[in-house]
Structure 1
């Protein structure tokens, strides 16, 4: 891990901060590698219950590092595929990995920055936030799963509009259309994210992991959802957390879940 991504631990919350503020934290090749490494470490750390993604210097991320899109010698499709690989793995872990993920978004969240935020479980944004999906303005399609994640948040019609026009979306509109889940004063997104993370502590970690796995496989036929339940529920019924949850309910106390 490099100083391009800073990790801070707040109780059982891993806060991962993209840290190239003079350039609005662009997703350069080095940033992609560092962010994936930091996220993978946190995602499989038994001491971590929730992951918060943030950006340094009052911005989330401006998206792709445009300078790295200009390739000497002309287009290189193989290079393009290689550069997508770490971001695709990151999106898979955000959306379907075992830990709830909260985006604490300030300032700019453009391109793949919007894609990362849209894939998280809960998006908290400062009132100064600016989202944009201007991929088409440089002749590219939306990437990092945005065509999958954005319609789930705001519906297909609005998702098309944002992608086809590339227009910016500011805080109040983002809240109104469901692009974000909570709008807070600038500079307070991390505090709000930590408060939301605290609310997840009352639910067993393995149960959250199972539900995230189910969410990422949908929407689909009801029969698929019921089949997945038949697989997951018997396994969860054998966990220590299930026994603890039953005991806590019976004894009218808070449960002490351990993820086992």
Structure 2
């Protein structure tokens, strides 16, 4: 479980938070003992997004610094969306800006009643970032994604669930527990199989031929794994498979 933790200020993504989050995410993705990742926030909020105090610097705009600050967030989104392990967002309270981007890139989003999502980038003269123009339309469709980003309006949990930002809605305060239960559900699937499917999903819808070509590359390799042999044996023996990621 990875927790964004600066609760007094709604867990804003300061420069230090960005670097620490990326390091923790990379470590979790490469740790063989970790089968899935739950992303949450401390103090009853997910994250309010960018640390606005760090946007207001003496000396005026600095495009080079802006690029440097985006780099760890971009890498984090790439890992969330395309990394080999499932990532589940457990959202309570505010999930604004990059918080919505992170959630939208996750494999499954669970929110507590009372959660709020928003993309008010345009209200401070900026474009949506952290891949939101890629991830949000996949969840809600292009028209709704445009409306959410063009208006910057907050989307309450009930609407977010209805339109597809949220995959499961639970009572307030219950998102983390539900996310941990969902993470346990994924343990019944071979890790290398999940990694292959995530790699296919992140390539985008593409054409049928693209999908078939990717399958013919991945499936023969997976057929050689110990997990495949274990899965077949467990099926024959009518028992739960024990997968190791090899």
Whether these two folds match at TM > 0.5 is: yes
> Which position in structure 2 is the counterpart of 1:199?
185
Query: Cα RMSD over matched residues?
Result: 0.5
22, 31, 49: which one aligns with 2:17: 31
CA deviation after TM superposition for structure 1 residue 188, in Å = 1.1
78, 101, 120: which one aligns with 1:115: 101
Provide the TM-score with structure 2 as the length reference. 0.99
Provide the TM-score with structure 1 as the length reference. 0.94
Q: Distance in 1 between matches of 2:187 and 2:69?
A: 36
Matched, 1:168 2:141: no
188, 209, 212: which one aligns with 2:174: 188
Q: Give ranges in structure 2 of 5+ residues lacking alignment.
A: none
Deviations along 1:58-78, whole A, 9 cap, x unmatched? 000000000111121111111
Matched, 1:48 2:49: no
> Which position in structure 2 is the counterpart of 1:104?
90
Q: Distance in 1 between matches of 2:116 and 2:96?
A: 8
Q: Distance in 2 between matches of 1:142 and 1:218?
A: 19
Q: Distance in 2 between matches of 1:25 and 1:206?
A: 33
Greater RCO structure (CA 8 Å; 6+ sep): 2
Q: Distance in 2 between matches of 1:198 and 1:76?
A: 44
Q: Distance in 2 between matches of 1:195 and 1:189?
A: 10
SS across alignment from 1:234: helix
CA deviation after TM superposition for structure 1 residue 86, in Å = 0.2
What is the correspondence of 1:212-231 to structure 2 with a 5 Å cutoff? 212-231=198-217
Q: Distance in 1 between matches of 2:3 and 2:172?
A: 16
Q: Where do 4+ consecutive residues of structure 1 move more than 3 Å?
A: none
126, 137, 146: which one aligns with 2:132: 146
CA deviation after TM superposition for structure 1 residue 162, in Å = 0.1
Q: Distance in 1 between matches of 2:204 and 2:119?
A: 24
Matched, 1:179 2:145: no
Q: Give ranges in structure 1 of 5+ residues lacking alignment.
A: 1-14
Matched, 1:58 2:44: yes
Deviations along 1:120-176, whole A, 9 cap, x unmatched? 000000101010000000000000000000000000000000000000000110010
Q: Distance in 2 between matches of 1:176 and 1:42?
A: 31
Deviations along 1:198-228, whole A, 9 cap, x unmatched? 1111110000000000000011111111111
